[in-house]
Structure 1
Amino acid sequence: MWEKAINEEFVERCKNLKKTGNIFNPIFYIVFTRLVEVSSIINEVFLATPEDLEEMFKTRKDLLEIDLKTINETLRRAWKFEIERGVKYNFSDGIEDLMYVVYRMREIQSTIDEMIKSLVKEWKKSELVDIYFSLLVELLELEEKIQKEVEREIALENFVRLAKELGYNSDFLVKSYEILKSENKPINHVRLEEVGEKSKLSELLAQTDEEEKRFVLSALKVIFGKE
């Protein structure tokens, strides 16, 4: 349900931030702000009324949401430091992605606000708390999914480089990954291929020789092996 608030482009940008080593985690930041809110509801800092809910959202916007002017000034000073000291920060590799997610987070938070209000029927504390916990669970599941995909993609990139160094056609590995990445148990198809049984990879890997096929399957076992 809550995925309506977060589009695929935002998810891809979050993945890019992780790949460049940026310490800012947009999903956990949203989780943090919503944990603050649900804690305020549980402890009755804000009551389960339309007026208090609006006031709580306003408080978050005033105190907790990242200000774009502050981000811009921080980046300006960081760039100045880089130039003056000849030091390059890792986070500067993902500036475009960082600015995108910071800008989009305001819209996402506003969308979540509206969704919360639309779900409230009885204006009871227990009802609001349940709504928030539903949101938090989905956000944490999304973060886990993003982390898993980042680990997969980094491993894939490493094996693509290795394939090229060994003189293999890396397209077979990339295409195999694309075929399996949406599967519930991708490793099962790798195991089927290893024992000579038909899998979703059979048609593609039939175009390779045995040595290259072994390389592709070995790489896929590392990429998907923990699942």
Structure 2
Amino acid sequence: MKIEIDGIWYEWVPSVRDTFKVLEQDGTFVRLQVPAYADEAFVKSYIRTHRAVLLKDLKSNATDTIEPIEIFGIPHFVHHQENCTQPYIKGFRIYLNTNDRQWNDRSINSLKKTLLLQLIIQLVGHWEEQLDLLAGEIVIRKLRSNWYNTDKQNCNLTFDTALTDQPADYITYIVIRALLSLQINSKKEQEHQLDHLLQGWQEKEEALAYERTKFRDKDYDQQ
């Protein structure tokens, strides 16, 4: 498919790969490899966002790959949207305001923390109702101990920023574990609750147990 943007023609070729790649460029024409799931609106937004990179002086048949942002174990491409008040994820896209175009390690890490906090707040809200409890403040920061810490007196929860690299289903398990830690002291009772709340939680518990071989989890050890 071909489109014209600001006097430049772009032709894109669907690919099973999760990256955009410049296959050919001659100054007035750019041939792109794009993910197979990318629709026309997504491709247009991506071209406008990364136009400077796509149109830099390249020889014909040279390649230039623009990597997606990986979060929650899945590559996501950035889609700019007018009147977007805060970043959010939908499908395999991260939606940002049209003005948010500064990309460096610091801004990407900040974006990941924002999206992680959004996800955890949503999960906490859902599981609070299921468990009939009310959590306090939710904080995202780098922890030296476990994926999460709890303040049982005030019902506050702190989660590790490194959870941005974990799958969403594992983060769900961590959130449930943290909430159960506020409510139940007995490990056996927590596991009994998990049997009813989350199918296959034992597999995720094995992963958490492995993490405990690397650091000490105060919440867990006190049970």
Asked whether the two chains share a fold, i.e. TM above 0.5, the reply is no
- TM-score between the two structures when normalised by the length of structure 1: 0.26
Q: Which has the larger radius of gyration?
A: 1
Q: Which has the higher contact order (CA 8 A, sep 6+)?
A: 1
- TM-score between the two structures when normalised by the length of structure 2: 0.26
The structure richer in helix per residue is 1
